[in-house]
Structure 1
């Protein structure tokens, strides 16, 4: 197990990313952390740049900005041990409500932002033949049975998909890839500052409106997950020699995953005879 690691964390100015950065620094790890503005990042973390902390202003949708940030991290710390693609935001709205522009913007950050980081960091991890990549998805990246969360869940399903592929591609270089599926944690994720709604709402979607109101008024501030405990698990997992490809985080994430598995198992068995009669006759 590593005693001190060099971490690269995106979306570090709030939520799980902020808590992770603070815990890492308190434990003596080195952290290159990114946010859209350095002032927001240093203000949230509570310190400016130091021997162990490199705050970086990055536009994740700009690959040159990402490339420069990784170069600065390597110049400062000499290597990278753990990369956490945490940046992302929730965009609520039914598939009919959200415009093409709104949907693509959510994918740009939640999916392509992480791919930009992976594309730029892999050459260095391959050269050192080591490294761990954690891509933060959501339990909504495993089960999407929530009215009004289709596009957001689709972005998180994409994160799960490319992480599985990355795990296979990177394994021979001594690099691991893990998709993290957090449940509900008591962060700023569901606040008005972090959760975006549709520009155009359709009143007929009563279930979606009820879900939107429930998340804003009832769930927000009452999430069962403790962010401090959640990131402590992530840090402990990252210290292990062998790490999982799939990491479900929180009891609610485990419960929802089990429900999805049961539904799939039931569908498989119910339709097995018909759905498997597809091979050429021999």
Structure 2
């Protein structure tokens, strides 16, 4: 596993986050892990290791995030890798989802990530090294019917990561945004997925797509243990990518989107270039 590192991981009590924590502790790394529930986190990880620091954090609260970052530095002295993993799915058309449902999603999926980055950046700059890994989704590249708000949150994570990589490069800080496809976690269960409370009958296509996705639960092609191993390997690379897809389904969807975009840009090139001054 190479040099032992200090990891700060959000959303660590289940799914990909939990797989990461378990593999890292087994390999001898130090891990600060956040969750909304201390009991759930400690029970899920089930270790007495001094290298494990469980933290109860409200990611939408800047002060809560700051306390967690400070506690991690106080315990381990530094932070080498930050994994912004916390997030949840939200399904429904824009018309169906209320302002509150929509804002709550952005609070965790986007602003929670921003809060962590904002509060950890001073430490990483002081150190002169560090790797921020933001977990987005293939949905942020190729959205699907009925998941517009979720796609928007993950597209935001991809865009902010791309520019962040440029902003912090001079400080020796690396940034990678990971876009997984469908992985066999509890993502499609009620604890990780919110559907519109007030569905509108007219959106039949949205309902049928949601039903199809829910039937996938437990049958997704992606192995979360392999995804965790891939991200651990990523953190030891001297020149990691800014973008990393995980899963063959993600690769196929992203490739098809790139080809479709290129074709559309060329098809409408005449109008595009007609707007410049002569």
Question: How would you bin the TM-score normalised by the shorter chain?
Answer: over 0.9
SS in 2 for 1:133: strand
Equivalent pairs, count: 278
5 Å-filtered alignment, 1:115-154, equals 115-144=114-143, 146-154=144-152
5 Å-filtered alignment, 1:74-113, equals 74-113=73-112
Among 206, 209, 212, the residue aligned to 1:211? 209
SS in 2 for 1:169: helix
Among 184, 191, 194, the residue aligned to 2:192? 194
Deviation at 1:2, TM superposition (A): 4.4
- Is 1:250 paired with 2:247? yes
Give the aligned CA root-mean-square deviation in angstroms: 1.0
Aligned mates of 1:213, 1:183 — CA distance in 2: 18
SS in 1 for 2:268: helix
- Is 1:69 paired with 2:68? yes
The corresponding residue for 2:180 is 182
The corresponding residue for 2:9 is 9
SS in 2 for 1:247: strand
SS in 2 for 1:187: coil
After the TM superposition, which parts of structure 1 deviate over 6 Å for at least 4 consecutive aligned residues? none
Aligned mates of 1:136, 1:9 — CA distance in 2: 11
The unaligned stretches of length 5 or more in structure 2 are: none
Deviation at 1:193, TM superposition (A): 2.0
TM value normalised by structure 1 = 0.97
The corresponding residue for 1:265 is 262
- Is 1:277 paired with 2:268? no
The corresponding residue for 2:21 is 21
5 Å-filtered alignment, 1:205-244, equals 205-216=203-214, 218-244=215-241
